[in-house]
């Protein structure tokens, strides 16, 4: 875990134009020193301690932010918010003028447009090879530098990418693990991997016959269809209340059993839902979270939260 003692601080000289408002109006260069914080594992540098700390989680494997919809975990709230908007709300407000493909963020659209323009703005200083994406350049540069930041705890062998390390670990565990090359997530079967990869491509091949909405996974379509049919196949084992999903039933049954599996590390208070715990943590961390009063689900963006509320309104109609 990062501590101030192992923080490596670098500086880089920069020249900034300074315009004099009086006299002859000549421009001069003001030399400053830009503070850079370097990762002690891979030498990558950042301008702030906060962004360095987020980066360090890629080495430690820590992913404290979990999606309530699918269980995927992320190293930062920003990544979680982007994930929710990309895969669960269906909102893609930024559209490519060339092919009309939609994207969650302006940055993703800008990266995509390079497919059409052929632009490769990131060049390797060692060999001159150019790349469309910064991440591709970073991976490539490790060929020259020999940096292999991902090490196997069993044998000490190092790798340039997390995906290669996870694939290597199969040798020691004798377990067949299927890792996603895009995000490094481990899946238990090739079929699960195929379903997961579709989430990255954005393909939504499962269409609702009632309203035309499309979904990435068949199970998401099945759950959505129950909004139209009103089907609630999961009955509480303690009372007569029924639910449209098994997860909703599990959360409800904790009212009867008194089970509170989610505890706050700060004050020890326990909760029946992880979403309620995250809202409670807001008092300690001051992070902005939006909680649904009807089911307890928590969202990091107001857009995703507002869309979720429409689902409840449709059920009540």
Q: Is residue 56 part of a domain?
A: yes
Average pLDDT, the chain: 74
pLDDT-derived band at 251 (thresholds 50, 70, 90) equals: confident
> Average pLDDT in the 7-27 region?
43
Choose from 50-64, 80-94, 180-194, 258-272 the range with maximum mean pLDDT: 258-272
pLDDT in the model for residue 286: 54
User: Strand (E) positions, 113-230?
Assistant: 122-123, 130-131, 150-151, 158-159, 178-179, 186-187, 206-207, 214-215
9 near 37, Cβ under 8 Å?
yes
Q: What is the pLDDT of residues 145-167, one digit of tens each?
A: 888 888 888 888 888 877 778 77
Domain that holds residue 58: 39-114
Q: Is residue 98 part of a domain?
A: yes
Q: Is residue 234 part of a domain?
A: no
> Average pLDDT in the 195-224 region?
79
Asked if the model's pLDDT at residue 298 lies above 50, the reply is: yes
> Average pLDDT in the 89-118 region?
79
What is the value of pTM for the model shown?
0.34
pLDDT in the model for residue 74: 80
pLDDT in the model for residue 17: 42
Percentage of residues in the chain with pLDDT exceeding 70?
77
Pairwise CA distance, residues 199 & 242, whole Å: 30
Q: Is 162 exposed, middle or buried (0-12, 13-18, 19+ CB in 10 A)?
A: middle
Domain count, the chain: 1
267 near 282, Cβ under 8 Å?
no
pLDDT in the model for residue 35: 54
| 16 compared with 184, residue with greater pLDDT | 184
Q: Is residue 210 part of a domain?
A: no
Q: Is residue 103 part of a domain?
A: yes
Q: Domain with 107 in it: what CATH number? A: 3.30.160.60
Q: Is residue 69 part of a domain?
A: yes
pLDDT-derived band at 25 (thresholds 50, 70, 90) equals: very low
pLDDT in the model for residue 3: 41
> Average pLDDT in the 6-35 region?
44
Q: Is residue 294 part of a domain?
A: no
């Amino acid at each position: 875990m990062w501590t101030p003692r192992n923080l490596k601080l670098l500086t880089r000289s920069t020249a900034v134009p300074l315009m004099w408002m009086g006299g002859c109006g000549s421009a001069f260069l003001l030399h400053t020193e830009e503070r850079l914080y370097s990762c002690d594992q891979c030498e990558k540098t950042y301008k702030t301690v906060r962004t360095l700390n987020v980066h360090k989680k890629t080495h430690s494997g820590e992913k404290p932010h979990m999606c309530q919809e699918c269980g995927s975990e992320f190293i930062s709230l920003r990544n979680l918010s982007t994930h929710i908007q990309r895969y669960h709300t269906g909102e893609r407000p930024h559209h490519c003028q060339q092919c009309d493909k939609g994207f969650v963020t302006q940055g993703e659209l800008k990266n995509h447009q390079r497919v059409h323009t052929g632009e490769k703005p990131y060049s390797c200083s060692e060999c001159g090879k150019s790349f469309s994406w910064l991440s591709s350049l970073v991976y490539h540069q490790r060929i020259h530098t020999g940096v292999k930041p991902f090490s196997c705890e069993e044998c000490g062998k190092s790798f340039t990418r997390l995906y290669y390390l996870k694939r290597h670990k199969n040798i020691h565990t004798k377990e067949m693990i299927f890792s996603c090359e895009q995000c490094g997530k481990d899946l238990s079967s090739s079929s699960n991997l195929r379903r997961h990869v579709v989430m990255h491509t954005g393909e939504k091949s499962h269409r609702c016959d009632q309203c035309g909405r499309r979904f990435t996974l068949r199970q998401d379509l099945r759950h959505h269809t129950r909004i139209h049919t009103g089907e609630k196949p999961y009955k509480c084992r303690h009372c007569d209340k029924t639910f449209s999903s098994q997860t909703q039933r599990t959360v409800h049954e904790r009212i009867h059993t008194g089970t509170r599996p989610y505890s706050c590390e700060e004050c020890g208070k326990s909760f029946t839902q992880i979403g309620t715990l995250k809202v409670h943590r807001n008092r300690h961390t001051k992070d902005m979270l939006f909680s649904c009063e009807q089911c307890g689900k928590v969202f990091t963006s107001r857009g995703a939260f507002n869309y979720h509320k429409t689902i409840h309104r449709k059920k009540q109609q």
